[in-house]
Structure 1
Amino acid sequence: MTLALRLGLARGALELKMFVRERAAVAFSFGLPIVLLLIFGTVFKGEVGDTGVDFRQYFAAGIIASGIMSTTFTSLGIAIASERDDGTLKRLYGTPMPRASYFIGKTVSALTLSVAETAVLFAVGGALFGLRPPATPERWLTFAWVFVLGVTACTLLGVAVSGVPASGRSAAAVFNLPYLVLQFISGVFFVFGDLPSGVQQVGALFPLKWMCQGLRSALLPDALLAAEPARSWEHGRVALVLAAWCMGGLVLCLTTFRWKRRHER
């Protein structure tokens, strides 16, 4: 095991310990998706069109995708922007620690939290709304690659966009606004096929829509295909779009990431 990897794993364990100690962050990160699941699951009932699929199960699958984006893109990006603002990144930059170890640590932390939050949402969705884990090995495989690509794409985007906020105080607004908008246009709160065509086209440009669609294909029956705009799960396109976002996010990280605040050199 290389030094960078060993230090990265140790850094990841430290990141998780620091996160757990921040009770407000834990409550918000894990509590918000659960609260949304409970509210929308209680208010909106009935089937998705004539598919026989309960809307609450449709919504639960979307909330799992949204939870992944919350713990990676939003929480991770805000944390990095805050660390840059308070000088943590500058101090780390001046240590002998390999630069890659910092990003390995952040990735380990984001992945672990995403797995934990997905497990919690599975438990709540299953207990209250009948959401079931993938029924076959093929569906488990689909769930796995959608999960991994989704976590990777959103983590890289969180790192890349972390340089946009002018300060740590403005980071929450910079990340939460697009995250909130994407939930409305990506098939989380509403059936994607019921949205206006223009909104569908905009939503299809971003990874959350494809994460939602991929998870629905793994968790919900094929009867739901009648409510999908393409009448297909489009696994090839899901993989292609998420992989493209992974590559694009990596390029942005390599070209835009800053260890110091803008006015510092």
Structure 2
Amino acid sequence: MPESPDAYPVSERNKVRRLHERGRYDRESVHAILDAAMVAHIAYVIDGQPYCTPTAFWREGEHLYWHGSSASRMLRSQRGGLPVCLTVTHLDSLVLARCGFNHSVDYRSAMCFGTAQIIDDPAEKTRALDAMIDRFYPDRNATLRPSTAQELKATTVIGMAIEQASGKIRNKGVGDEEEDYALPIYAARVPVRTVIGAAEPCPRMPAGVPYPEGLAGFTPGRRLDELMLENQRKKYGAE
């Protein structure tokens, strides 16, 4: 596939092999999958042992960031740079077909490759942590108590430039063999959604504290992936 500024380069590392027609390499598709999520899984190898860690993450342009405890084995191992694979998956529906082989799920997934580095600069580290809060909860950071030096010391921030990436999407619903459609067997797509629930205010919150304007999008019943994508664009614009 020819290289393009609008798509990630394709190699043996990120090429979609099975059902390649579902593959996506354009930045718009990959970024949309990433930006609709709050949690990613980070896969890496330390001393020959594979690990995979779930963590909150966010994207700024061609960089991905995540954070964790300074005592984390994974984070300590990344100080000199560690190759990682970051993945995100959205489960969109369950697919019941007319034979077991054709049962499936509709999904959106992304896989990103790069070298993770610890963010050591104190100013950049603080900026990144503030950006994380505002990316998930618009304009919230300005209303919060600043983190203490000890709190910042206990937190490590990781950054990774996206070297290569690929997305994979299935959204076809039931896909049976042509001769099976006439069989009297129940078949259906069952949508799966993660939705926002009603807020449960802290019982120790002082009386009269107003609901933040930045949380206006957190309405009960709204899809989380749609809200996360909206909040990403509020923070960083359409990119």
Into which bin does the TM-score normalised by the smaller protein fall? Answer: under 0.3
Name which one, 1 or 2, has greater alpha-carbon Rg.
2
Query: What is the TM-score when the length of structure 2 is the normalising length?
Result: 0.27
Higher relative contact order (CA 8 A, sep 6+): 1
